[in-house]
C-alpha cells in the first residue's frame, strides 16, 4: 500500500511539473507568436485581431501570390490587405470572415476561390490545424478546429499542444527578414522568375514519351475516377457549399460588397466543380470574375512562376485588371 501511495505522489508531482512547464511556456511563447510580422500565422493573426482595412483579399496561394496589395492601395486610394494563405479552402475562409465581421466591417471582400473549391478533400480539413494557436478566440474558430480533430479543443488547453507545430516556423520567420507575405508587403507573396525553362523541359519530356509509345501524343492521357457505369465520380463538399452560401448571405445583409475571383492557370482547366461553382454564384447574383482559362495568361510562361502561380509580372498585370474592374463596377466610390 505504501508503495502505491509513493507512486501516486510521484505521478501527481510529475503532473504538477508538466502543468507548470506548460503554463510557463505559454507565458513566454505567446507574446513571441503574436509579434510575428510575416508568414501564414501572421496573416491569420492580423485578420483575427488587427485588420481595419477597406478591402480584404481572402483565399489560398492564388490570393496570396496574385494580388499585389500595395499596388491596389496606391491605385484605389483605400487601405488593402492580402490575407491569402497557402493550401486553405472555404473551411478556413468561413471562420476567418466570420471572426473579422465580429469587430470590423470592410467595404469590399475579394474572395479568391479555386476552380475545384467545392470538391471534398481530406487535406482541406487537416490544414485547419493552423487555427490551434487561436483556440478559444470565438465559436467559429473553435468549430473549425474540431473539424480536423474532435478532441482538439480539449487538447489545446495545453500551450505545448497548441503551439507545437508553430515553433520552427515562428523562429524561422523571426530570422528570415523577407519582404514576402509580410506587414511590409501588406500580405502579398510575390514570386520571382518564370516558368519558361520548366515549361520547355516538360514539353520535351512529354514529346519524348509520346514518340516512344504507340499512338504518339494521343497515348498520353489523364486518369479519372469512374464508377461501375463508367461515369465520372464527383465528391462535392456540402459543408463548403453551406459556408459559401452563408457568407454570401451575411455580406449582403451587412451591405459589404463581395467579389469572387478565380485566377489564371497555366493549363486549361475544366471540371464539374468549376461549372457548379459558376452556377451557384450566378444564382446568388454574386459579382464573379472568372479568369481560370484566360487566354491572355494561359500557356504564357513569362507570366507564371510555376504551372499554377503567376510571377510578379503576371500578378501585377492581373492586379491592374482587378483594380480596373472594381472601379468600373463602382465597388469603391
pLDDT tens for each residue of 247-298: 999 999 999 999 999 999 999 999 999 999 999 999 999 999 999 999 999 9
Model pTM score: 0.86
Let me know if residue 77 belongs to a domain: yes
pLDDT tens for each residue of 178-208: 899 999 999 999 999 999 986 655 554 443 4
Helices within the chain (DSSP H only): 2-33, 40-49, 61-66, 69-76, 90-101, 122-126, 139-148, 152-155, 159-163, 167-175, 196-211, 238-253, 272-283, 312-328
Let me know if residue 30 belongs to a domain: no
pLDDT bucket at 333, cuts 50 / 70 / 90: low
Structure confidence at residue 218 (pLDDT): 28
pLDDT bucket at 170, cuts 50 / 70 / 90: confident
- Per the structure, how many domains does the chain have? 1
Let me know if residue 100 belongs to a domain: yes
Of 138, 58, 54, 152, which is closest to residue 102 (Cα–Cα)? 138
Q: What is the CATH number of the domain that holds 58?
A: 3.40.50.1110
The residue with greater pLDDT, 82 or 328, is: 82
pLDDT at 234 over 60: yes
Least confident range of 56-60, 229-233, 260-264: 229-233
Structure confidence at residue 148 (pLDDT): 85
- Taking all residues of the chain, what is their mean pLDDT, rounded to a whole number? 88
pLDDT at 127 over 50: yes
Let me know if residue 165 belongs to a domain: no
Provide the domain limits for residue 263: 50-127+190-207+220-328
Amino acid at each position: 500500500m505504501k508503495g502505491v501511495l509513493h507512486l501516486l505522489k510521484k505521478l501527481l508531482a510529475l503532473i504538477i511539473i508538466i502543468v507548470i512547464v506548460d503554463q510557463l511556456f505559454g507565458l513566454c511563447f505567446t507574446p513571441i507568436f503574436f509579434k510575428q510580422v510575416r508568414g501564414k500565422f501572421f496573416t491569420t493573426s492580423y485578420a483575427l485581431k488587427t485588420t481595419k482595412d477597406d478591402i480584404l483579399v481572402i483565399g489560398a496561394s492564388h490570393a496570396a501570390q496574385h494580388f499585389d496589395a500595395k499596388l491596389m492601395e496606391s491605385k484605389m486610394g483605400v487601405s488593402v490587405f492580402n490575407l491569402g494563405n497557402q493550401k486553405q479552402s472555404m473551411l478556413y475562409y468561413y471562420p476567418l470572415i466570420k471572426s473579422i465581421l465580429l469587430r470590423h466591417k470592410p467595404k469590399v471582400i475579394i474572395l479568391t476561390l479555386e476552380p475545384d473549391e467545392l470538391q471534398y478533400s481530406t487535406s482541406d480539413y487537416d490544414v485547419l490545424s493552423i487555427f490551434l494557436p487561436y483556440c478559444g478566440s470565438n465559436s467559429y474558430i473553435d468549430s473549425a478546429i474540431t473539424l480536423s480533430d474532435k478532441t482538439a479543443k480539449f487538447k489545446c488547453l495545453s500551450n505545448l499542444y497548441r503551439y507545437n507545430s508553430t515553433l520552427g516556423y515562428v523562429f524561422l520567420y523571426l530570422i528570415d527578414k523577407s519582404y514576402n507575405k509580410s506587414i511590409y508587403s501588406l500580405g502579398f507573396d510575390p514570386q520571382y522568375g518564370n516558368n519558361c525553362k520548366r515549361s520547355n523541359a516538360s514539353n520535351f519530356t512529354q514529346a519524348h514519351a509520346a514518340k516512344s509509345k504507340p499512338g504518339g501524343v494521343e497515348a498520353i492521357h489523364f486518369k479519372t475516377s469512374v464508377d461501375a457505369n463508367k461515369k465520372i465520380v464527383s465528391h462535392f463538399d456540402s459543408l463548403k457549399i453551406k459556408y459559401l452560401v452563408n457568407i454570401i448571405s451575411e455580406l449582403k445583409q451587412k451591405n459589404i460588397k463581395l467579389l469572387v475571383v478565380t485566377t489564371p492557370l497555366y493549363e486549361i482547366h475544366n471540371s464539374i466543380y468549376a461549372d457548379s461553382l459558376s452556377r451557384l454564384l450566378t444564382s446568388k447574383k454574386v459579382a464573379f470574375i472568372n479568369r481560370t482559362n484566360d487566354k491572355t495568361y494561359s500557356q504564357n510562361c513569362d507570366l507564371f512562376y510555376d504551372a499554377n502561380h503567376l510571377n510578379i509580372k503576371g500578378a501585377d498585370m492581373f492586379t491592374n485588371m482587378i483594380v480596373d474592374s472594381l472601379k468600373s463596377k463602382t465597388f469603391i466610390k
